[in-house]
Structure 1
Amino acid sequence: MCGFTGWIDWTDDLTKHAATLERMTETLSNRGPDASGTWISPNCALGHRRLSVIDPANGAQPMVRVSGDDTFVIVYNGELYNAPELKRELEGRGRSFTTTCDTEVLLVAYMEWGPSCVEKFNGIFAFAIWDTLEQKLFLARDRLGVKPLFIAKQLGRFIFGSEPKSLLAHPSVKPEVGPEGLAEIFILGPARTPGHGVYRDISELLPGQCATVTRSGVSITHYWRLESRPHTEDVEATAHTVGELLKDTVERQLVSDVPLCTLLSGGLDSSALTTLAVRYYEQTGQGAVHTFSVDYVDNDKHFKAHDFQPNADAPWIDRMNTYLGTVHHPVHFDTPELVKALREAMLARDLPGMADVDASLLLFCREIKKEATVAISGEAADEIFGGYPWFHREESLNSNTFPWSLASGMRADLLSQDVAAWIRPLEYIADRYSEAIGEVPRLKGEDETAARMRVMSYLNITRFMPTLLDRKDRMSMAVGLEVRVPYCDHRLVDYVFNIPWEIKTAGDREKGILRRSLEGVLPHDVLYRKKSPYPKTHNPNYLDAVRTQVLDLIHEGTSPLLPLINVKRIREIAESESASTNLPWFGQLMSGPQLFAYLLQTDMWLREYKVSVR
């Protein structure tokens, strides 16, 4: 994994701006701690930071290939899991290679097939390729949006990068936020609208999109979308297909020239991936699999079960490690570390995010990085297979809004009157929901229940899942750790999206078809354990710390946050007994303590990025 940036300018000689390119590239040093490189020509500038995973000695970027009178230059972030097959196919078509890295495979694939090459890729990726002869830039992002790619379109200029910070390092991109950006921050929160960069001049290439930049303009198209098709297999055949797809996906993603591990919570999703990894390592003689888990000091003393976290992970992690014989590394954090890391997590996102969940994930990834460079993680299984409680609640299914946004009225009450009048928060979220519903690929002949569940699946895959993928990419890459997410294999997602709900919930259980596919792979008690998400701290010391800091901000009266929020209401919440409870102030994404942490991150963001709100 890596980070890249650059820009196209048809009105200036970019060779005079090498220092700007160096600054933009350096902002991504955490994503690529192993090497740095730039390439510059009169109209195109490319910068890259590298995290070496495959062929560390020969995969330097920007990578240049010459073909006749033409020269192609690539900057790339990601992994191609079908690189060996593509390489053999390209060699059969007369192409040659000088490295064993997938960067060269991707570049040569573009030279051979042009923009249609993306349809052949299985992987997670974002990349940009400059064709010097045709004076054309081609960019693409993977189908599910695992890897980020931000863009800024200006008159005669096109700027891009793996993170907003690289674009903001260009003198023409300002940290300005308008009403839509504020609505994204305060109403949608971390679950921002895909494609929306929050900053006024920054947007994001959507998952499954590619772009072509020439002197005549910018053309953006979809090369992949979710499609609805009839499902013809019965339960047993479906379970078999799911199992085979998952096995193939995991084995492809275990390829690495550097140390690799899995993240293990003891839940269904991570236990399945770890078990498949252990089996593959045994078959290929690669030794023991290393696993990592995260928890918080004294969490066992303060844990209280609820629908989204019905039980603690620790006993189940021990169960799986004993069952598999992995080399396990438990990681624990205390409240002071978590509070301190809020700022670093905000810097990793370039925005306020998921508060302590972001902060703890960043700290967790930093510990993992001491032992491994690549990790396998279980993100996206709940969105794809229908695991969340809101898939199974009538009030969520019939709410006419995003199921994670049921508390949007509460969120609107936290805004100042002026800001609320300016951004019209409830109208904004209604518009975003209407847009999402309008995209759903309907299937002719589906009954009302099936159609409703297809909508819920689509919303989760295209609107909620990007939140978790963005979190995992930014927190892991902030410390130079590559995280791979097998459940996001596009073949698996495409197949499962079209499984009828009664088969998805086989055995009358959430994610029933995934459980059925893993029978004989996992112990029965783990296989049918209730879902438990990424753990949060339950220590009241964390609430005390973040609540006190918010009250201090209010008391000091100088924070740029204060004109944007309903100070009286925030103070009332902070001083009330209910502040210590698990109230959904930001829907299912944030509890009371997380609200205060989110406000602190927003204050830090406004100050450190010198954000102009207008």
Structure 2
Amino acid sequence: MCGIAGWINLNEDIRPFQDKLEQMTSKLMYRGPDARGKWTSTHALIGHTRLIVVDPAGGGQPMVKTYGNRQYVITYNGELYNTSDLREELELLGHKFISNSDTEVLLVSYIEWGPQCVERLNGIYAFGVWDEYSQSLFLARDRFGVKPLFYAQVGNSLIFGSEIKVLLESNLIKPQIDKDGLLEIFSLGPARSPGIGVFKGIHELNPAHCLLHNSNGTFVRKYWSLTSYEHKDNLEYTIDTVRDLVKDAVARQLVADVPVCVFLSGGLDSSAITAIAAKSFYASGKNKLHTYSIDYAGNDLFFKANDFQPDSDAYWVKRMSEEFGTCHHYITIDNESLAKALEDAVLARDLPGMADIDSSLLLFCRKVKQDATVALSGECAISLMYYHMLILKCPQAI
């Protein structure tokens, strides 16, 4: 993941506040530890911290492109899965590229299609594009809100960032929680109402929404909605279609110039992803796929079977790793470490979360990061899909 940040003021010269931009992006260095950049003009301060996944040399940000007398600047966190398709289409329209990064493809997509570019994107993203000529800012977030994006308007300023702490660091927003914020924490936490940033004055751009900010005002619109249709395909065709979609989704996320791994819990989701990824690695001649699982000290002694979990994860992890020849890593965490990491987990989220679940994930990812940069995780993403197939007695779906 990367980190994005920005400060726009269409009425005042904000160049003297570049140090504030530095402070804002400093809060994002753990999101993007590989590089840090900024771009400034009279009315715009744009920052970025980068985690390198694709094109180390050509994907630096903020990325700037000039077409005629118009200059465009992008700060972007995410991954486009249809980069090659978009690049090919844009090249046919006369555009030329100087890098292999999806950042450049995304920026050129905005230059060519404007705000409507989001309707063509397949991926996970949060980004901002500043048009120096028209003095306008465009923000967008992916269709399911995988990548975070917060913003606030204070006086003549609009500030945005990947995390709440970025906005608080600007000192334009005070860390105040009003009645609505308290209701969010105590009634809904760790979930939140759509668009709510909990702290007074902070908003989250909703999934599948974009924002345009210029001299005429600030306008937010929804660019996509999930539509339900009557299912008319037969059973065999449905199985083939879903299998192809899942395989394609996993394969697109394996594209990287850095080490890639899979979180393997032994459950249905991670096992399916592991199977697809391992086969893809083998077919492309790559080294063995590395998989990682988490366990807790003493679990082998104190685990008790129940209706929800009739056996421990370890058996299924071992079976999947052996079946697909992965290089598996076990990471064991004890209760003392979990407790010590609770505060770090809250600071990472900016808000109260799921206690030891958050701290265990934080410790787990810290360990994995020592060896890999990109990790694929099931997160219950395909269980429902397969569940419907299994109750239809279609074991060949896996």
TM exceeding 0.5 = yes
Question: Aligned runs of 1:59-74 on 2, under 5 Å?
Answer: 59-74=59-74
Q: Indicate how the Cα distance of structure 1 residues 264 and 365 shifts in structure 2: closer, same or farther if over 3 A, else same.
A: same
Alpha-carbon displacement from aligned partner over 1:64-119 (angstroms, at most 9, x marks no partner): 00000000000000111111111111111100011111100000011011111111
**Paired position in structure 2 for 1:343:** 343
Q: How does 1:530-541 map to 2 (within 5 A)?
A: none
Structure showing the higher strand proportion among its residues: 2
* Deviation for aligned residue 1:506: 4.1
Q: 1:505 aligns with which of 369, 375, 388?
A: 388
2:388 maps to amino acid: T
Equivalent positions of 1:3-18 (< 5 A) are 3-18=3-18
Give 1:517 deviation, angstroms.
2.3
2:57 partner SS: coil
Q: What letter is aligned with 2:107? A: L
Alignment-derived partner of residue 397 in structure 2: 517
Q: How does 1:386-397 map to 2 (within 5 A)?
A: 386=384
Q: 1:289 to 1:235 in 2, by over 3 A?
A: same
How many Å separate the matches in 2 of 1:310 and 1:90?
53
Give yes or no for contact 1:506–1:516 (8 Å, CA) kept in 2: no
Which residue number corresponds to residue 195 of structure 2?
A: 195
Give the Cα–Cα distance (whole angstroms) in 2 for the partners of residues 10 and 89 of structure 1: 34
> Whose relative contact order is higher, 1 or 2, with alpha carbons under 8 Å and at least 6 apart?
1
Which residue number in structure 2 is paired with residue 260 of structure 1?
260
Structure 1: state its 5+ residue gaps: 387-495, 497-502, 519-614
Which residue pairs with 2:110 in the alignment? 110
Question: Residue 231 of structure 1 aligns with which residue?
Answer: 231
The whole-number CA distance in structure 2 between the counterparts of 1:255 and 1:361 is 24
Percentage of pairs with the same residue: 52
Q: Deviations over 1:110-166 (max 9, x none)?
A: 101111111111111000000011111011001111100011123322111000010
Separation in structure 2 between the aligned mates of residue 327 and residue 312 of structure 1, nearest angstrom: 20
Matched with 1:277 is 277
- The answer to whether the 8 A contact 2:154-2:173 is kept is no
How far is 1:342 from its partner?
0.3
Counterpart in the other structure of 1:97:
97
Report deviation, 1:188.
1.1
Residues 163/61 of structure 1: CA separation in 2 closer, same or farther (3 Å cut): same
Aligned-partner Cα distance in 1 for 2:16–2:343: 35
Between Structure 1 and Structure 2, the one with more helix by share is 1
Task: Give runs of aligned pairs for residues 101-180 of structure 1, distance below 5 A.
Answer: 101-180=101-180
Structure 2 partner of 1:362:
362
Distance in 1 separating the partners of 2:318 and 2:234: 35
Equivalent AA in structure 2 for residue 215 of structure 1: S
CA contact (8 A) 1:125 1:142 kept: yes
Q: Is the 8 A contact 1:31 1:49 kept in 2?
A: yes
| Structure 1 residues 490-525: Cα deviation after superposition (integer angstroms, max 9, x where no partner) | xxxxxx6xxxxxx9634537xx77x6521xxxxxxx
SS at match of 1:8: strand
State the match for 2:21 in structure 1: 21
Query: What CA distance in whole angstroms lies between the structure 2 residues aligned with 1:307 and 1:210?
Result: 44
Please say if residues 138 and 211 of structure 1, whose CA atoms lie closer than 8 Å, have aligned partners that are also in contact.
Answer: yes
Distance in 2, matches of 1:245 and 1:278, equals 17
- In the superposition, the TM-score normalised over structure 1's length comes to 0.63
Query: 2: CA distance between counterparts of 1:373 and 1:315?
Result: 27
Summarize the Cα distance change of 1:267–1:73 in structure 2 as closer, same or farther, 3 Å threshold: same
1:129 touches 1:137 (CA, 8 Å); kept in 2? yes
Q: In the TM superposition, what whole-angstrom CA distance separates every residue of 1:538-559 from its partner, at most 9, and x where no partner exists?
A: xxxxxxxxxxxxxxxxxxxxxx
**Unaligned 5+ runs, structure 2:** none
Choose 1 or 2 for highest CA Rg.
1
Distance 1:180-1:305 versus aligned 2 partners, 3 A rule:
farther
Show the counterpart of 2:298.
298
- Cα deviation for residue 300 of structure 1 reads 2.3
Distance 1:282 1:145 in 2: 32
Return the offset for 1:182: 0.9
Using the TM superposition, give the Cα deviation of residue 41 of structure 1 relative to its aligned residue in structure 2, in angstroms: 1.2
Separation in structure 2 between the aligned mates of residue 380 and residue 3 of structure 1, nearest angstrom: 26
Q: Distance in 1 between matches of 2:249 and 2:389?
A: 23
